[in-house]
Structure 1
Amino acid sequence: MEKNKLRRELSSNQITMIAMGCAIGTGLFLGSGLAISTAGPSVLISYAIGAFIVLLLMGCLAEMTVAHPTSGSFGTIAEKYISPFAGFVVRYSYWIANVLAIGVEVSAIAVYMKYWFPDVPGSIWIFLFAAVLIYVNATSVNTFGNFEYLFSMIKISAIVIFILLGAYVVVGAEPASGIGVENYTGHEGFMPFGFWGLWVAIFISLFSFLGTELIAVTAGEAKDPDIAVPKALKATVFRLATFYVLTIGLMLMIVPWQDAGIDKSPFVRVMETLNIPGASGIMNFIILTAALSAMNSQLYASTRMIFSLSEQRQAPAIFQKVNRNGVPIRALLISTLGIFLAAGVKVLLPDTSYAFMMGISMFGAILTWFMVFISHFYFRKSWEKSGGRKLPVKMHGFPYLTILGALLLLALTASTWFTGPFKIVLQFGIPWLIFLCIVYAFMVKIKRK
């Protein structure tokens, strides 16, 4: 094995499942409750618009990733086509987003375990499951891929069963049961909080789709990026959009939207409402698996991003070291910071820890997505001007759809300043950007000496 090099061992199916595993986590199973309580039934439109933004993002990302299949992914691309500073900001912002998103998942794990063990402190479960996943990530990338494939299959199978069961219940429901499409309009209307509620829920939906971009990060360890990456991107976006819209649509028919919340998964609430013996416990186990799977994928993503920063000499060289299994173990350990932060937040803010961790993790993610659109704008012009090879995948509607994606993200992020729960996004994000500017200026000054 070549020293300090990652191994290309991931197949197209593994890559798809890794991205699905990262995206189908608390965003669907727990975050959907927050989105529903924000927009009411109109959350269906929110998720559809969110899926459209992600579709545009994946189109840009697929084209650039096939051209540059590296573990640094969009960070490397931003550095090459915009500026070294842009690459620095994207890499560190994506790293902190995933580190904090790990904290979101473990915060949710504490909520799920309370279903069975209401008196056990949530921090106990956070550290227990964190230890298991750190061990999994410390093994070879192929072992990680197999583990994630299995966990993702459990989640996807559960969602398919939920869709089938929900459809059966809705079709066979009696008129007086309170189950059916009338729930979309029968409780304060389809848009109980108006357009503003629908708009804010789009932002929440984007957290649900966070992780789809992980496909670009895995390209550095893919067996055949030209084939694996475009195939995985298309499959992931289609499946995610279908799963989210169908599951939430059925959920709203069965349970009135006012009953959704973040103290318990809406999926578990549906099972309790249907009075299926043991079903709510089984669903809670599956949701727990989903959170562990998403946390596992995010730990992988943050590890590879800090590894890439080290390769570019924008992080200490120690994070570039890999173990005998080809895993950057020191980069892995530094990426566990979100776990300890989540444990602390859980103690300080036991009732609002999930929304808080979700809010601060979103800035880095949305900034990364925004920079993907900007990078694509510069990439396409440069690629065509330099006469680059014909790529197997191409973003349609350039430059209009690329610009549209960037503007939508910018508008949604600016809107968070006027929402109570998500004002933390910019309260954290603006100081974070200022901090990165200071650090980068300091690094440039040292290099010049």
Structure 2
Amino acid sequence: MKNQQNELEQSLSARHMSMIAIGGVIGAGLFVGSGAAIHKVGPGILVSYVIAGVLVFLIMKSLGEMATANPTSGSFSEYARDAIGPWAGTTIGWLYWFQWVVVIAIEAIAGAAIIHTWYPGIPLWFLALALTIALTLTNIYSVKSFGEFEYWFAMIKVASIIAFLILGVSYIFGFIGEPAVGTSNLVENGGFFPNGISAVFIGVITVFFSFAGTEVATIAAAESKDPVKSVSKAINSTIWRVLIFYVGSIAVVVTLLPWNSANVLQSPFVAVLENLGIPFAAHLMNFIVLTAVLSCLNAGLYTTSRMLFSLAKKGDAPQYFTKLNKKGVPARAVFAATIFSYFAVVMSYVSPELVFLFLVNSSGAIILLVYLLISISQLRMRRKLERENPEALKVKMWLFPYLTYATILGISIILISMAFIESTRSQLYSTLLLTGVIIVLNHYFGKKKIDSSEEKSKLSKDLSLLKQSEAE
């Protein structure tokens, strides 16, 4: 059986992979966090979303090129190891693992807060614990159950946004309601760029993080029945997913509501629905946000377990985590993620201003470092594949190497810019500190591993020579 050989089961169908890819780009940040970005930039935030979306698409195109050539649960960690060096693979793997276990804690707290508004008598900590345990059991049961839950979570998110778009466009052009709302909100209240063109680039930095999660499909590809086809389809559909779900929905928001409306800051989607007279708008949107939160929590448990499993197989984590259960799931790796997230949830109540704040800040810029190393890996691996195995290049980055260089430059600009923005400075420095610690620990333990390996090799040679001399 596959699980006896420590190999993951390929149980995810094309249906699962399609919705994982579509749903992965729709996070709770779109429904809630977009309000702050709109308030900073104005209607011009649409340009910010387009720029960030194009950059994410190029990153996914780079990742798709490598993932179709070598679908693996370690995904970009494995590619960085092969293209840049073992230190890069280990560092990016542990950083990504850390980011997601913190996200699991954050999403559990967010989901608990939503349910708490409906059932205020239940303690928040109990709700956070219950959500995490429920989705942990889902992930442990089988990879197919993860895919099934993610399929329906994504379906609800997609259906909600499509309904929102249809409703919004109908009001804008007067198909519903009288008279037509029109586009006056895009040009009034200071114009399309009320805070200047420079605010658009600040907006790019703000909204870029809301796209995190698009890479989950390439990790799941290793457990799909047709990884090459699944990844190709997911990557090629990234651009329209970004345009429809992000640019489309935000365009409806800024067209129907003044960008400087106080309601936009709280929840722009709720504000639009209430403005259109939709009954129970807040409760309806809370349900949709809860779905997005649970989807993110589900994906987080999946990705952290597969990344830890991959690190363990490469000797960069304890071999204990390579063990699979009867369903071919790395259950021990799933539990490891939840244990850390339980600690983070506890810290959110015990030490919200110190420990929990550091955990959140230190994970803030990780996705940028991950995307940067993905692009650098693709730059190096593409040339290697062209020399050694050109037929493996089933998905190719456009205009190579120019668009790859442009992607690296774009990510670098965002990273550097974070140092000059007060709200993101602490995130950048905390992430760099964490990265430095991981690199130092990796160097120390890597050296010990090499020394131990050399010692075993020397001992083996000595025993071989001793047996040879005894035989003579």
The interval holding the TM-score normalised by the smaller chain is: over 0.9
- 1:443 Cα offset (Å): 1.2
- Matched letter for residue 45 of structure 1: V
The alpha-carbon distance between structure 1 residues 117 and 203, as it changes in their structure 2 partners (threshold 3 A), is farther
- 1:198 Cα offset (Å): 1.7
**Residue number in structure 2 paired with 1:23:** 25
CA contact (8 A) 1:57 1:372 kept: yes
CA contact (8 A) 2:26 2:245 kept: no
> Residue by residue, what CA displacement relative to the aligned partner does 1:291-349 show, whole Å, maximum 9, x if unpaired?
11122112211110011000101001111111111111111111122354245336655
- 1:418 Cα offset (Å): 1.9
Q: Which structure 2 residues correspond to residues 86-165 of structure 1 after superposition, within 5 A?
A: 86-113=88-115, 115-117=117-119, 122-165=124-167
> Residue by residue, what CA displacement relative to the aligned partner does 1:8-53 show, whole Å, maximum 9, x if unpaired?
1112331231233332121211121222123221111111011100
Distance in 2, matches of 1:357 and 1:44, equals 31
CA contact (8 A) 1:26 1:108 kept: no
- 340-349 or 391-400, larger mean C-alpha shift: 340-349
CA contact (8 A) 1:107 1:342 kept: yes
- Matched letter for residue 428 of structure 2: L
CA contact (8 A) 1:126 1:343 kept: no
Q: Which structure 2 residues correspond to residues 194-343 of structure 1 after superposition, within 5 A?
A: 194-259=196-261, 264-336=266-338, 337-338=340-341, 340-342=343-345
Distance in 1, matches of 2:33 and 2:306, equals 26
* 1:56 maps to 2:58: yes
- Matched letter for residue 341 of structure 2: G
- 181-190 or 74-83, larger mean C-alpha shift: 181-190
- Matched letter for residue 138 of structure 1: I
- 1:149 Cα offset (Å): 0.5
**Residue number in structure 2 paired with 1:74:** 76
**Residue number in structure 1 paired with 2:13:** 11
Q: Aligned with 1:421: secondary structure?
A: helix
Distance in 2, matches of 1:168 and 1:357, equals 43
Say which of 31, 34, 37 aligns to 1:32. Answer: 34
Distance in 2, matches of 1:240 and 1:107, equals 27
- 1:121 Cα offset (Å): 5.2
The alpha-carbon distance between structure 1 residues 359 and 444, as it changes in their structure 2 partners (threshold 3 A), is closer
- 1:158 Cα offset (Å): 0.7
CA contact (8 A) 2:363 2:431 kept: no
CA contact (8 A) 1:34 1:260 kept: no
The alpha-carbon distance between structure 1 residues 99 and 430, as it changes in their structure 2 partners (threshold 3 A), is same
- Matched letter for residue 399 of structure 1: P
CA contact (8 A) 2:38 2:264 kept: no
The alpha-carbon distance between structure 1 residues 417 and 345, as it changes in their structure 2 partners (threshold 3 A), is farther
The alpha-carbon distance between structure 1 residues 200 and 394, as it changes in their structure 2 partners (threshold 3 A), is same
Extract unaligned runs of 5+ from structure 2.
Answer: 453-472
CA contact (8 A) 1:138 1:332 kept: yes
CA contact (8 A) 1:183 1:256 kept: yes
Q: Aligned with 2:391: secondary structure?
A: coil
> Residue by residue, what CA displacement relative to the aligned partner does 1:123-154 show, whole Å, maximum 9, x if unpaired?
34322211211111111101111111111111
Distance in 1, matches of 2:121 and 2:249, equals 31
Distance in 2, matches of 1:356 and 1:189, equals 39
Distance in 2, matches of 1:123 and 1:23, equals 28
Task: Work out the number of aligned pairs and report it.
Answer: 444
**Residue number in structure 2 paired with 1:83:** 85
Distance in 1, matches of 2:256 and 2:287, equals 21
Distance in 1, matches of 2:194 and 2:341, equals 35
CA contact (8 A) 1:74 1:372 kept: yes
- Matched letter for residue 186 of structure 1: E
- 395-404 or 262-271, larger mean C-alpha shift: 262-271
> Residue by residue, what CA displacement relative to the aligned partner does 1:245-300 show, whole Å, maximum 9, x if unpaired?
11011011222223367974321222222222223322221221111112211221
- Matched letter for residue 29 of structure 2: G
CA contact (8 A) 1:100 1:360 kept: no
Distance in 1, matches of 2:255 and 2:269, equals 12
- 377-386 or 23-32, larger mean C-alpha shift: 23-32
- Matched letter for residue 331 of structure 1: A
The alpha-carbon distance between structure 1 residues 117 and 256, as it changes in their structure 2 partners (threshold 3 A), is farther
- 1:119 Cα offset (Å): 7.2
- 1:437 Cα offset (Å): 1.6
**Residue number in structure 1 paired with 2:462:** none
- 105-114 or 15-24, larger mean C-alpha shift: 105-114
Q: Which structure 2 residues correspond to residues 431-442 of structure 1 after superposition, within 5 A?
A: 431-442=433-444
Q: Aligned with 1:41: secondary structure?
A: coil
CA contact (8 A) 1:23 1:209 kept: yes
**Residue number in structure 2 paired with 1:397:** 399
- Please tell me the root mean square deviation across aligned C-alpha atoms, in Å: 2.3
The alpha-carbon distance between structure 1 residues 262 and 275, as it changes in their structure 2 partners (threshold 3 A), is closer
CA contact (8 A) 2:10 2:223 kept: yes
Greater C-alpha radius of gyration: 2
Distance in 2, matches of 1:225 and 1:193, equals 45
* 1:344 maps to 2:347: yes
- Matched letter for residue 37 of structure 2: A
- Matched letter for residue 201 of structure 2: W
Q: Aligned with 1:362: secondary structure?
A: coil
**Residue number in structure 1 paired with 2:470:** none
Distance in 1, matches of 2:229 and 2:68, equals 9
The alpha-carbon distance between structure 1 residues 44 and 182, as it changes in their structure 2 partners (threshold 3 A), is same
- Matched letter for residue 234 of structure 1: N
Distance in 2, matches of 1:422 and 1:136, equals 35
- Matched letter for residue 226 of structure 1: V
Extract unaligned runs of 5+ from structure 1.
Answer: none
Distance in 2, matches of 1:287 and 1:273, equals 19
CA contact (8 A) 2:269 2:285 kept: yes
- 276-285 or 61-70, larger mean C-alpha shift: 276-285
